[in-house]
Structure 1
Amino acid sequence: MSDAVQSCDRRFGLPWPELNGGLSYEDVVAPSDDGSTLIEFYGSKYRCSAPLQGWMQRIRNGQIMVDKRVTTNPDEQLRAGLKLVYHRLPWKEPDAPCSIEILYEDDHMIALNKPSGLQVLPGGLFQQRTVLSQLQWWERKRTLQMGHEPQPVPVHRLGRGTSGILLCAKTKIAKSRLSAYFADGTSLISGTRNVGMEPKPARKITKFYRALVDGILAEDELIISQPIGAAKYSGVAKGLYVATTSGKPAVSKVKVLQRDVERHRTIVQVEIQSGRPHQIRIHLSFIGHPLICDPLYVEGGKPRCFAFDDVEESFAVDGGHVRPQHALPGDCGYFLHAHQVIISHPMTDEVLTITAPLPSILQTQSEALDSSKSSME
């Protein structure tokens, strides 16, 4: 077994531009929409993006092209086969950290220490301020300095508020194998085997997290096997993941590391045997111990009632709905850290142990003492 943690502190990350580059969305007019007007097309198909008057504003802003030609006429008639492009205006994304530490790197993969508050892939308000953007900018710089370099991409996700180890692949074959490791871990939980079938191979990856939870856990160790599924939730298009009997199988192994009776909280280690969205947050809240400062999940593994701001019928600069002042629930605030990964290298099969340094709040007293002694030496 190889300890893959490097002693040098290697970091990368460029400051974020004030505004991102905006986005473009393409459509091709279907035969069923032949003869409809531009405003009818967008006002009916994309009502969730903006109300009718909002789309009118976007058209008059010159944000829509018809067959590579900017038009400001909402009543222009469309023909089947025409290509439409809507340009979303650049906007300032919410604050996010930009500096990322490299824990391990070779010709095939990189392990990063993702900071809390940084989203992995584009989505929602975060289209540029992501790990993926920083990886692309960093590799572009290295390519200019040293010639062609592989383009690394994340092979799994961490929640925006979760810190710690994020694995990225630098080659297609490494990406395929690492992705299979994560899929195999979940299939071991989800799959059923008929009598006489060959047993599935041992796991290629094991993940350990640290979490700070509310309350004092009575058991030193426990296994949570509550299924997790999606439920409709106001303001979230795809719904929210919650504890539900109709969900998919999920297993988390929890081990108590330190009980803080005075402050009524516990530091736990969690080994996840599957990779459901928000699994650790849901499982710990399901047993009555939600993460400290989790803005979304409460006891029972369900979302708390969240009061969205009342918004007047007005439009943003690009014609969309004015956004609420508060972020959607569940973005950040809790303490969850992907602390250690034990993984078979995707090319050599060597077993690597990769560790991301713990935030001080997730260190036990003995770990904090050891850390203090090391810094003094």
Structure 2
Amino acid sequence: MQSQSGISPSKVFLPQGGHAFGTVLDFLVDKFPAIQRDEWVSRFNDGLIFDSDGLTLSVTSQYLAGTFVYYFRRVESEERIPFNETIVYQDDYLLIADKPHFLPVTPGGHYLQETLLVRLKKSTGIETLSPIHRIDRETAGLVAFSKRASDRNAYQALFRDRLVEKTYQAIAPYQEDLQNRFPIHYQSRIEESSVFIQMHEVAGEPNSDTWIDIEEVSGSWAKYSLKLGTGRKHQLRVHMSALGIPIKNDQIYPVLQPHVMSNKDFTQPLQLLAKELSFVDPISGLKHHFFSTQALHL
């Protein structure tokens, strides 16, 4: 299935037992209640819904259980992220990008064109690019991509099996009472909370661990080095907040701030940077150690 403007289609399976749905349109309206029926009709009319053979479906196309339907998402108004990514390395199998703050890695929610993956597909012409791992939209730094679909599992296994060393830098408050505890090996159990988008720590066996050390101190602020053991969602932000030193300009921890969709303030990025990645390439056998060209300043 070909992409459009660097964006690949999403797909949904039409299960058995969907006899109540006479058409694909009826199924999609029921499956995705957050999307209005008129929007689905518009996508059909604009040729954005396909079957597995790439044939365009219409509002009258019948529901066929056991098949896949492909569809393209749309965002009516998408604000330009005024910062550029760079490519720090690529070979026949691998591409390493240096992502700016505010730019999501992959399409989702209100972001389609303004994502690292779509930008890279457009600039390189490589339609098969796929991220091996993710970092938060607010976080800057290194993101690794596989160039060939046949290699994705091997690369993803590196991260799953904790064979990649990931080092971050962060600016956060300096607390003298913590000075003698560094380096800190912080462990906790992190799970989804009842607050939208936030994670939180709960009692139980730890499922996350981070090594935290101080690199530099300037007045009431310090630059920290953070090494990931596990890679739980928002792990570094949760751990730093739990220590009483939340990362500077964090809009989620310890208190969730309203998310602004337009006219964003780009002057106060989250002071978190994915600074280093190192691993042995499972395809080429090369020993890689990559560094972000970006820096955080006290």
Which TM-score band applies after superposition, normalised by the shorter structure? 0.7 to 0.9
Structure 1: distance between partners of 2:23 and 2:146: 46
**What residue in structure 1 maps to residue 232 of structure 2?**
276
Could you tell me which runs of 5 or more consecutive residues in structure 1 were left unpaired when the two chains were aligned: 1-18, 141-148, 186-203, 299-303, 309-323, 363-377
Structure having greater relative contact order (Cα 8 Å, sep ≥ 6): 1
| TM alignment of 1:271-350, pairs within 5 A | 271-298=227-254, 304=255, 306=257, 333-350=269-286
**Residue 110 in structure 1 maps to residue 95 in structure 2:** yes
* Identical pairs, percent: 19
**What residue in structure 2 maps to residue 212 of structure 1?**
171
> TM-score, normalising length from structure 2?
0.76
Structure 1 residue corresponding to 2:117, chosen from 132, 136, 139:
132
Structure 1: distance between partners of 2:155 and 2:74: 36
Structure 1: distance between partners of 2:275 and 2:28: 46
Structure 1 residue corresponding to 2:213, chosen from 255, 277, 281:
255
Cα gap change, 1:260/1:93 in structure 2, threshold over 3 Å: closer, same or farther?
same
| TM alignment of 1:225-244, pairs within 5 A | 225-234=187-196, 240-244=198-202
Cα gap change, 1:259/1:20 in structure 2, threshold over 3 Å: closer, same or farther?
same
Q: Give the conservation status (yes or no) of the 8 Å contact 2:6–2:119.
A: no
**Residue 163 in structure 1 maps to residue 129 in structure 2:** no
- What is the SS of the residue equivalent to 2:208? coil
C-alpha displacement at 1:287, in angstroms? 0.9
> TM-score, normalising length from structure 1?
0.61
Structure 2: distance between partners of 1:63 and 1:242: 41
Cα gap change, 1:344/1:150 in structure 2, threshold over 3 Å: closer, same or farther?
farther
**What residue in structure 1 maps to residue 20 of structure 2?**
34
Structure 2: distance between partners of 1:168 and 1:292: 28
Which residue identity does 1:253 align to in structure 2? W
C-alpha displacement at 1:118, in angstroms? 1.1
Q: Which of these two proteins has the greater Rg computed from alpha carbons?
A: 1
Structure 1: distance between partners of 2:81 and 2:239: 27
Q: Give the conservation status (yes or no) of the 8 Å contact 1:97–1:117.
A: no
C-alpha displacement at 1:327, in angstroms? 9.9
Which residue identity does 1:260 align to in structure 2? S
C-alpha displacement at 1:127, in angstroms? 2.1
Q: What is the RMSD computed on CA atoms of the aligned residues?
A: 3.9
C-alpha displacement at 1:274, in angstroms? 1.1
Structure 1 residue corresponding to 2:81, chosen from 96, 118, 127:
96
Structure 2 residue corresponding to 1:358, chosen from 272, 291, 294:
294
Once the two structures are superposed, residues 101-139 of structure 1 have per-residue CA deviations (whole angstroms, 9 ceiling, x without a partner) of 121222221221111111111111112221111222223
C-alpha displacement at 1:358, in angstroms? 3.5
- What is the SS of the residue equivalent to 1:116? coil
Q: Give the conservation status (yes or no) of the 8 Å contact 1:153–1:169.
A: yes
Cα gap change, 1:120/1:69 in structure 2, threshold over 3 Å: closer, same or farther?
closer
C-alpha displacement at 1:45, in angstroms? 4.3
C-alpha displacement at 1:21, in angstroms? 8.0
C-alpha displacement at 1:325, in angstroms? 5.7
Cα gap change, 1:106/1:247 in structure 2, threshold over 3 Å: closer, same or farther?
same
Q: Give the conservation status (yes or no) of the 8 Å contact 2:79–2:262.
A: no
Structure 2: distance between partners of 1:114 and 1:36: 45
Structure 1: distance between partners of 2:42 and 2:129: 37
Cα gap change, 1:125/1:253 in structure 2, threshold over 3 Å: closer, same or farther?
same
> More displaced, 114-123 or 173-182?
173-182
How many pairs does the alignment contain?
281
